[in-house]
Amino acid sequence: MASRKKVLLKVIILGDSGVGKTSLMNQYVNKKFSNQYKATIGADFLTKEVMVDDRLVTMQIWDTAGQERFQSLGVAFYRGADCCVLMYDVNNAKSFETLDSWRDEFLIQASPRDSENFPFVVLGNKIDLEESKRMVSQKRAMTWCQSKGNTPYFETSAKEAINVEQAFQTIAKNALQQETEDILYSDFPDPIKIDSDANKYEACGC
């Protein structure tokens, strides 16, 4: 049954302010880039239907505010996530160093069932800028990812659409796996509740 139902994959993008979360999401979903995106306030999301392993799934990609002051809002948005994307700017060392705290914060607030194996994907963005500006080497990033249980790592450019598709394919794949496991492990809700809801619709005659 699980394989036949329509799947919604919830993906959260986290990372410091200005690393390109909104741009990445828009490049992936709308194939557009603008350097005039305003700082995200609160949260928003876009959806996209994609094929993963011959299955049509809907990805719901959440874009959140990057300033740490707004992290406490996270709990409302992180719940039920199937994959978390940790994003930094390869030209900004600080944005890389905060990945640890974004990861920890996510695990605390989302409290996934199996936090050891929860799927993260790390993205180093803005590789379109000149090499001399680069502050975080690929090696350094990969070492960190390895230390976090071999987290997949991609270097991207939301501006030039480099590696965006590939990254999201992996994100979708890992999210789907997580979602499938969640369904296997979770208790199904009482079916009677659903039926009674459906009956209510019928009864009100609307």
Residues at the site binding another protein, with contacts judged by CB under 8 A: 1-2, 5-8, 17-18, 35-39, 41-45, 47, 58, 60, 65-67, 69-70, 72-73, 76-77, 91, 94, 129-130, 133, 183, 186, 188-189, 191, 193-194, 197-198, 201, 206
Closest contact distance (angstroms) between CB of 189 and another protein is 5
Nearer to another protein, 147 or 206 (CB): 206
Nearer to another protein, 66 or 124 (CB): 66
Q: Where are the alpha helices (DSSP H) in the chain?
A: 21-30, 74-78, 93-97, 99-110, 138-147, 164-185, 191-203
Q: What is the DSSP letter of 91?
A: T
- Longest CA–CA span in the chain (Å) reads 68
Closest contact distance (angstroms) between CB of 153 and another protein is 23
Cβ–Cβ under 8 Å, residues 17 and 67: yes
User: Whole-angstrom Cα distance, residue 13 to residue 21?
Assistant: 7
User: Whole-angstrom Cα distance, residue 63 to residue 20?
Assistant: 10
Cβ–Cβ under 8 Å, residues 65 and 17: yes
CA-closest candidate to residue 110, choices 62, 154, 51, 163: 62
Closest contact distance (angstroms) between CB of 148 and another protein is 25
Nearer to another protein, 67 or 166 (CB): 67
**Residue length of the chain:** 206
Closest contact distance (angstroms) between CB of 126 and another protein is 8
User: Whole-angstrom Cα distance, residue 97 to residue 173?
Assistant: 27
Closest contact distance (angstroms) between CB of 152 and another protein is 25
CA–centroid distance for 202 within its chain: 37
Nearer to another protein, 116 or 193 (CB): 193
CB atoms within 10 A of CB 36: 4
Nearer to another protein, 43 or 142 (CB): 43
Closest contact distance (angstroms) between CB of 185 and another protein is 13
Nearer to another protein, 101 or 146 (CB): 101
